[in-house]
Amino acid sequence: MTASATATLSSKFQISIPKAIREEQRWQAGQEFVFIPKGKGVLVMPVPELEELAGIAKGANKGDYRDREDRF
């Protein structure tokens, strides 16, 4: 996307995501999002489905694993 997209916060504290953003990201109605504070702004990211997380740690080093009991 080349042009910046803007939205206005409504009196009910709602924001409509511009169509160009929704289509580019392939976001769907009913999808869940997380809001992560970043300085004076916020990062909005979709919450991944469980199936999307399968294999995310493939190849991770298991040798340096710490358990809750290993902590202070």
**pLDDT at residue 33, rounded to an integer:** 96
pLDDT top residue among 12 and 55 = 12
**pLDDT at residue 10, rounded to an integer:** 97
Handedness of CA 29, 21, 37, 67 (dihedral sign): positive
pLDDT, tens digit (0-9, with 9 covering 90-100), for 7-48: 999 999 999 999 999 999 999 999 999 999 999 999 999 998
| Model confidence at 1: pLDDT above 90 | no
- Residue 48's SS3 state is coil
Residue pointed to by tokens 């979709």: 46
Domain parsing of the chain, residue ranges: 15-49
Q: Contact 1/24 with Cβ under 8 angstroms?
A: yes
Exposure of 10 in the CB half-sphere (CA atoms within 13 A): 5
